[in-house]
Structure 1
Amino acid sequence: MLERRYAILGTGALGGFYGARLQKAGLDVHFLLKSDYEHVTQHGLVVESKDGDFTLSQVNAYHDVEKMPRCDVVVVALKTTQNHLLSQMLPHVLKDNGVVLVLQNGLGIEEEVADIVGNDRVIGGLCFLCSNKLGPGHIHHLDYGKVTLGEYAPDYQAVGNTDRIQQIGNDFERARIPIDLAEDLLLARWQKLVWNIPYNGLSVILNATTRELMADAYTRKLVEQLMYEVVAGAKTSGRTISDRFIAKMLDYTDKMKPYRTSMKIDYDERRPLEVEAIFGNPLRKALVAGVNLLQISCLYHQLKFLDAQIRELSM
Structure 2
Amino acid sequence: MSRPSVLIVGAGALGLVAAYTLQEYGKCDVCLVVKFGADLVRKDGYTFKSAQFGSFEHWKPKYILESVAETTHQYDYIIVSVKNLPDGPEPVNDIVRPVVKRCPQSALILFENGIDIEKPLIREFPGHAIFSGVSLINCTNIDRVVNQKNKDSIQLGIFENPTLKDNAVAQKQLAEFIKLYHIEGMNTVTLDENVRFSRWKKLVYNASINTTTALAQLDVTRATICGFKEGLCRPIIDEIYAIAKADGYIIPPEIEDHMLNLSNGLFYKPSMCVDAELGRMMEIETIVGNPLREAKKYGVPAPRLETVYHLLKMLQYRIMEKEGLITTDEENGVAHKKF
For 1:171 and 1:205, the matched residues in 2 are separated by: 38
For 1:119 and 1:292, the matched residues in 2 are separated by: 36
For 2:228 and 2:123, the matched residues in 1 are separated by: 43
Letter in 2 for 1:285: E
SS in 2 for 1:273: coil
For 2:66 and 2:227, the matched residues in 1 are separated by: 47
For 1:288 and 1:115, the matched residues in 2 are separated by: 20
**Structure 2 portions without partners, runs of 5+:** 325-339
For 2:46 and 2:24, the matched residues in 1 are separated by: 11
For 1:79 and 1:305, the matched residues in 2 are separated by: 19
Matches within 5 A, 1:1-315: 3-25=3-25, 26-51=27-52, 52-54=54-56, 55-57=58-60, 59-68=62-71, 69-81=73-85, 84-87=91-94, 89-92=96-99, 95-135=103-143, 137-154=144-161, 162-174=171-183, 176-217=186-227, 219-254=229-264, 257-315=266-324
For 2:95 and 2:257, the matched residues in 1 are separated by: 42
TM-score (norm 2): 0.84
Letter in 1 for 2:152: G
For 2:236 and 2:200, the matched residues in 1 are separated by: 13
**Structure 1 portions without partners, runs of 5+:** none
SS in 1 for 2:113: coil
For 1:126 and 1:280, the matched residues in 2 are separated by: 19
Letter in 1 for 2:244: A
Letter in 2 for 1:215: I
Query: How much does 1:269 deviate?
Result: 0.8
For 1:99 and 1:148, the matched residues in 2 are separated by: 16
SS in 2 for 1:109: coil
Query: How much does 1:108 deviate?
Result: 0.8
Out of 205-214 and 8-17, give the one that drifted further: 205-214
**What is the number of residues matched between the two proteins?**
312
The structure whose residues are more often helix, as a share, is 1
For 2:155 and 2:119, the matched residues in 1 are separated by: 18
Query: How much does 1:120 deviate?
Result: 4.3
Q: Highest CA radius of gyration, 1 or 2?
A: 2
Letter in 2 for 1:148: Q
For 2:67 and 2:161, the matched residues in 1 are separated by: 31
Query: How much does 1:201 deviate?
Result: 1.2
Deviations 1:21-68 (A, max 9, x none): 211112111111122210112223332212212453562101132332
Residues 42 and 280 (structure 1), Cα distance of their counterparts in 2 relative to 1, 3 Å cut: same
Residues 214 and 96 (structure 1), Cα distance of their counterparts in 2 relative to 1, 3 Å cut: same
Q: Are the aligned partners of 1:102 and 1:124 in contact in 2 as well (CA < 8 Å)?
A: yes
SS in 2 for 1:97: coil
For 2:47 and 2:257, the matched residues in 1 are separated by: 35
Residues 138 and 252 (structure 1), Cα distance of their counterparts in 2 relative to 1, 3 Å cut: closer
For 2:111 and 2:228, the matched residues in 1 are separated by: 32
Q: Are the aligned partners of 1:213 and 1:220 in contact in 2 as well (CA < 8 Å)?
A: no
Q: Are the aligned partners of 1:32 and 1:64 in contact in 2 as well (CA < 8 Å)?
A: yes
For 2:175 and 2:70, the matched residues in 1 are separated by: 29
Deviations 1:249-304 (A, max 9, x none): 223233x5111111011111111121111100000011101112111111001111
TM-score (norm 1): 0.90
Letter in 2 for 1:131: C
Letter in 1 for 2:249: R
Query: How much does 1:4 deviate?
Result: 2.5
Deviations 1:84-138 (A, max 9, x none): 2533533426632111000111111011222232254100111112112232x43
Residues 174 and 27 (structure 1), Cα distance of their counterparts in 2 relative to 1, 3 Å cut: farther
User: Alignment identity in percent?
Assistant: 23
For 1:280 and 1:85, the matched residues in 2 are separated by: 16
Q: Are the aligned partners of 2:84 and 2:92 in contact in 1 as well (CA < 8 Å)?
A: no
SS in 2 for 1:252: coil
For 2:162 and 2:242, the matched residues in 1 are separated by: 19
Deviations 1:174-227 (A, max 9, x none): 384321221111101100100001111110222321112323345434212211
Letter in 2 for 1:258: F
Letter in 2 for 1:251: N
